[in-house]
Structure 1
């Protein structure tokens, strides 16, 4: 299984477990994670969910080899939930959600933090939103949630530059709440999760609902804008050059694209 689940003291930990692929999300992992969140939301014995990664990565984002297949194979079979289903599950998750960023996080491995109630990060981890380097648009309502979380200019740098952000930079901009030494990351995250999990679930749900309900319309509208832009750009000249470069193990060259791309 590419997703491992453990329970302790009303805290359910979901561990992304494709270390050979840096925990990149293929359709199967999108489905498994969405299903796990839906199950945890309904489980009366679960108060808090923690998401982390196995190995040296939190998540390398969407599996680019599979993305290339999706862009070039008309008969590619998508999963039951896929990326959109996972984002729906994150947006609708009614209980506290904590992220323990143990290693590199790209794409959804960074934008998932917009849905986290508390985010912890290893001092050696790094984050990146690689959208412009892939010739695509933002996703997961990040164009709405990240400016609210870190401010417009830090969000603009994250989303426009496709550059790495260190743990200390992420902490300074408010993208994460705590930075820990690598060996302390999961214990510290679970310690805080168990503090929350000792509270009444009904009260936790009520507090989260009152905090997130005012954002729902903005999240929905942002996702519609992002999905439209992503669909327009995916499979276009810039995206195909980026995916081909990844598959061939080289840097993309955007200088020879048609004007406007």
Structure 2
């Protein structure tokens, strides 16, 4: 099992459950989370989805060992939905999405906050957009959503530097709404989710639609730009050096790459 699903008071809690991999998304977890969001969207008894992680991680992003296999193994078999399917489900999800960031969040574990209607974060959690350290481009329309959410310079630092952002910084940026002590995080997030879930679902959906509809064209265009850049860079010298270094347990060395990389 890669995803725990539980219902209470019209709140469906989705718990990413690959703790041994800090809840990194492999194809199975991408598919399970996508299916869960599609099911919650269609379920008339679900008003709000609360997303969190099991163990020390919220999500360590895409599983890099599986990414290496995708880049190098011609026989790699992708999932039914994969990363792009999860993004489609997030863009289309019509109900409030509450995130409780319980631990480290990298890649999609950070950029998913661009789709959260409310985000809560543990005081001990950290976030990172590691794209430049992997030799790839941004993802999940983060090049569009993060500047809207936190401002251009904070977004530029997160996307360009691949450095960690702690809970205090995330709160100051506006990346999350509340910072909680670790043992209070899930209870606080659930309490607020249940406040929303007590409201009429039809009204919740209408409010979210009127807030997000103006962003759809920008998200679609950003995803197209990012996907093109990602396809160009994935498997290139910088990306292969980063993935090989990860598999070998060392720091990547980008200084010996061909000019321009």
The TM-score normalised by the length of structure 1 is: 1.00
Deviation at 1:164?
0.3
- Which residue is equivalent to 2:69? 69
> Is 2:244 aligned against 1:240?
no
Matches within 5 A, 1:116-135: 116-135=116-135
The C-alpha deviation readout for 1:195-253, integer Å capped at 9, x for no partner, is 00000000000000000000000000000000000000000000000000000000000
- C-alpha separation between the residues in 1 aligned to 2:50 and 2:84? 20
Aligned to 1:35: 35
Distance, in Å, in 2 between the alignment partners of 1:85 and 1:123 is 31
Correspondence for 1:208: 208
- The residue that corresponds to 2:81 in the other structure is 81
Q: 5+ residue gaps in structure 2?
A: none
Deviation at 1:74, TM superposition (A): 1.5
1:75 positional shift: 1.8
Deviations 1:27-60 (A, max 9, x none): 0000000000000000000000000000000000
The reply on whether 1:252 has 2:252 as its aligned counterpart is: yes
Q: Look up the match of 1:167.
A: 167
**1:180 positional shift:** 0.1
SS in 2 for 1:105: strand
RMSD: 0.3
CA distance in 2, matches of 1:98, 1:155: 21
SS of residue matched to 2:33? helix
Does residue 181 (structure 1) correspond to residue 181 (structure 2)? The answer is yes
Q: Equivalents in 1 of 2:157, 2:89: separation in Å?
A: 27
* Distance (whole Å) between structure 1 residues aligned to residue 126 and residue 62 of structure 2: 17
**Counterpart of 1:97?**
97
Asked if residue 137 in structure 1 is aligned to residue 137 in structure 2, the reply is yes
SS in 2 for 1:213: helix
1:4 paired with 2:11, answer no
- Secondary structure at 2:209 match in 1: helix
Supply the distance in 2 between the matched residues of 1:35 and 1:143 (Cα, whole angstroms). Answer: 26
CA distance in 1, matches of 2:158, 2:65: 23
Aligned partner of residue 113 in structure 2, secondary structure:
helix
